[in-house]
Chain A
Amino acid sequence: MHRYERAVLVALKGKKGMELEELAAAAHIGRDEAMWALENLKGRGFVDVSYSASENLELGDEGKEYERDGLPEVRLLEKASMGKTAVSSLVGREKIGLQWAKRNGWITIEAGMIRLTARGLEAEKKRPGINELGRDEIVKRGLGTVSEKRHITGISATKAGIDALGSKDGDDGAIDAVDRGMISSGLWKGMKFKPYDIAAPVEPRAVAMSHPLRRLVEEVKDAYASSGFREVSGPAVESSFWAFDSLFVPQDHPARDAQDTFYASNVGSVQVGDLPYISTVKKAHQRGWHSKWSEDIAGQMLLRVHTTSVSARYIYNIVHELKSNPGKYELPIKLFSVGRVFRNEALDYRHLADFYQHDGVIIGRNLTLSNLFDTLTKLYQGLGIKVRFKPSYFPFVEPGAELMAYSEGRKEWIEMAGCGIVREEITGVSRNKLTVLAWGSGIERLMLIRDQSISSIVQLYGNGVGWLRGRKW
């Protein structure tokens, strides 16, 4: 017997017809626990419970409206008694009122006009409300429902219940709670332990959660590290030079518009003129885009639009070092970075202004498009995602490709990552000597493919505790 059941039976002993609250108080347990124990005891015939039933009329939405504003047939009478009323002028509820007023014999219709009968005139004086309709009529007209509610009026223990309490094979004398003194004293030797009801309800323990998106970010880092990539990072508040110019994005490219990119004020712009590779960049832009190239535009500070700016910093610096010291690094060098990127969006339920992105780069000799496809296929395989490639265009790579990921949930291929062989304009070195493979991709998009319970990326940010607690680890 569970201790709640025992407590209830003990409290009922010698009493008759107790009420639920009274019983719970006497048994020193909560109302819900007492209710639960009673249900169990009733099933075994250990208690008698008597009930009284009461009926309760509850008005529906329409019923409530009539309670507030009056019955439509009465409202119709009021309207018709004010002056000539044509049936065709009735709208909304008045049409319902017309049907009931006719049925009640309150009105007649002559040549499309409403006329009050004697009974109608009488009813107009009395103006009966919804309650005057009576319960049956209210239910019949669908204005309300009647529910029956049972109340416990008296609880008594049966003889079997009292016997069970005192029976020899009951739990009297068995150990309830185990405590420190009992363990060390050895008092438990030869004693029985009271069993628990394994079906008794408990409140599941709340689990502290790391955030699903943050967890995926770390998983992506692990996927890279286990494929031989070393993690690097770079600033989020970045110069246009590293975010765009170094990547051969023309200075009049629409992505650089203030429409799409956040520019930072309150921080000084960067003097890019001192960078050792500035003439390479300048020449590449002038030749490739047939336009002037401005150091001032390159020096503007912005919130990075992709983590490819981190890759750019490493590509330029490593290539620069290799030029003066070709043996400095063992090639290929494999690097990755993960971080937030920013897009100038108006925030709503579908749009965020910051996201996570990951970027990878391999710097080596004689690397191929086929090496790129292999690296990415395996990387995404490690994250549980099937991929394929299609041609695409990004100013900094050529050949360029789009990695398409298969969404099992949506049963379709989704654009996932841009990738390619980095242009010579960026490395400043012939690809006969050095090849750089690079790619970049959003992590929220990966999350949507991986976790079908998440329907929009906005869900992932700024939630309440309830959302997090409701998630599976």
Chain B
Amino acid sequence: MPVVQLDKRYLYSLLGSGFDEKSLKDHVAKLGFEIEEADEGSLSLEVTANRPDLLCALGLARALKNFMHKTKKFNYAIEDVEPALEIYVDPSVKRIRPYVAGVVAKGIKLADDSLADVITFTEKFCDTYGRSRRKVAIGMHDLDAIKPPVAYRCEKDVEYVPLGGTKKARLSEVLASSPKGIQYSGIIAKGGKKFFPVIEDSQGVASFVPILNSQRTRVTPSTTNIFVDITGTSEYAVNKAAEILGAMFMDLGAKVGRVAIKYGRRTVQTPEMKTSYMSVPLARAEREIGVPIGFDNVISLANKMGYEAALVGKMVRFSIPQYRVDVIDRQDLIEDIAIGYGYEYINPMAAPYTQSGGLEQQTLINRKATGIMVGMGFSEFTNSYLTNEQANFDKAGVKREESIVVLQNPKTAEISMMRTWLLPSLLRNLGASSHDSMPQDVFELDMVFCVQGSKPVESYHLGAASVGPKANFNDMKAVVEGLLLSMGTQYAVAEFRHDSFIEGRCAQIKMAGKHAGFFGELHPKVLRNFGIEEPAVAMEIDISAR
């Protein structure tokens, strides 16, 4: 879940009186999030992925003040019809990063803390909802430094002064040598070719998208008019980001203006800040949550959660706040009613009872086999399903096989495939136990994996091993026969060769005429590979329910 660091003093100043650390924690928890002290000056807020609007002190304060009925701040509509700025979208960006949105905020009074909060939001939003700037990237500019016409296009390798710099640099240099360029260059590479998407005005590059803004248009605490560019691969996401920023700037006292985005013949105005409505029958909300809410109460619950709401017959009509990205339909509103009501007040009520429960056949077989093995004095182990070719094949002295489930992208060489049998895991357990007293009898009953005709095949195996100075072939034969007789399984024993075992001291177990497993005395070379110092015998049987 996204975690964001908020300036403690700034948050409290936004919240106003009546909040202390405990009440802050409690109310944030009731909304389903978590906040805790990070250090002296900051708080660490964890929000769920569906609420990127809360990745800043402004957003959290807005939600909390509504939640406590301290304000009723619901509507962020824009009255002005005339766009404050235009951006021409050149077709050259279509292949690489086709969408752009803009926000203009005039007459904003920024301070160090509010500017830092807005920057925190843009960075966190692009990291999380913006999928590390791939889906959405945001650049903030001083509107007064922007000289129209403004265009969004792919440029040649031109020069500009990057943010924080004093000298001009080529876009290719910024991409190759600045930290942000190195970090995000993958986003604007397609088919190995690098593109240079930029927001530019008549003075040149204002923003190298999605890498680095220009020094020329940088924002400082004394900036009063702001322009924000938002680029990305999803039109919905860039437009939503514009609306969240629009609401934030309005909270900061700015007059927010729209930017007309000219996609060829199509023009879109962002942030749209249109009020949309959705209605929920109260009865349905009550039925799904399982509590009586009542018409008197539901409007107040909606207000708590930041919605303006009204009763229309038996329906509750919600106006959806422009900054919410997660309200897809009624189900989402019903959740907010439940959160407003408080999960802790929802009384548990038993679901209807219809049938008796039961266990799968495989579980019953496994329990029987486990009981028998423990009854014979074997202790149970459990191991990872993941292994590597060396452990699964080489150490056990057997040839590598091709018909295995291979992992495409492991983070460590220790795991590269799914195990095909249990004995290597068990022998590793025994190798780690050579200092414990002998004899040792161990087993594992769990899944193994192979591939047949490019389809994965999952089976349950039972593997067992005994180690100790007197371990011999007949001991393990006695265990195998004891197990199978007790399971009530028909079986036959046949001659067998297996590279993990000493030749002439290994046998095959057959069930219904088919190979079902093997047992025998492990070869000294295998024992040495696993660091086992005493003689050992082992068996492995497929006990899958078929």
Contact = CB atoms under 8 A, between A and B. Distances in A.
A241 interface: no
B382 A252 contact: no
B21 interface: no
Interface in A367-407: 367-375, 377, 388-393, 398-402
B328 A288 contact: yes
Contacts of A288: 328
Contacts of A153: none
Contacts of A421: 288, 331
B456 A464 contact: no
A352 B385 CA distance: 11
B interface, over-half SS? loop
Interface stretch (B8-16, B370-378, B521-529): B370-378
A450 interface: no
Nearest to B357: A225
A128 B111 CA distance: 76
B228 interface: no
A340 interface: yes
B407 A332 contact: no
A236 B457 CA distance: 10
Interface in B335-387: 335, 338-339, 343-344, 346-360, 362-363, 367, 370, 373-386
A237 B408 CA distance: 13
A346 B50 CA distance: 28
Nearest to A369: B289
B411 A346 contact: yes
B161 interface: no
B131 A345 contact: no
B340 to A, nearest CB: 10
B405 A370 contact: no
A211 interface: yes
Interface residues of A, number: 92
B234 interface: yes
Interface in B437-494: 437, 440-442, 447, 449, 451, 454-456, 458
A237 B349 contact: no
Contacts of A431: 284, 288, 331
A400 B375 CA distance: 45
Contact of A367 (B351, B430, B454, B456): B351
Interface stretch (B78-86, B167-175, B412-420): B412-420
B406 A264 contact: yes
B354 A231 contact: no
B436 interface: yes
Given A237-B405, A390-B343, A435-B288, 17 more contacts: A208-B377, A227-B357, A230-B357, A233-B360, A236-B447, A262-B407, A290-B234, A334-B354, A340-B447, A366-B287, A370-B349, A390-B29, A391-B338, A431-B284, A462-B432, A463-B381, A465-B442
Nearest to A262: B407
Contact of B331 (A344, A367, A372, A424): A424
A258 B432 contact: no
Contacts of A157: none
Give the one of B332, B373, B386, B435 with max A CB within 10 A. B386
Contacts of B435: 466
B428 interface: yes
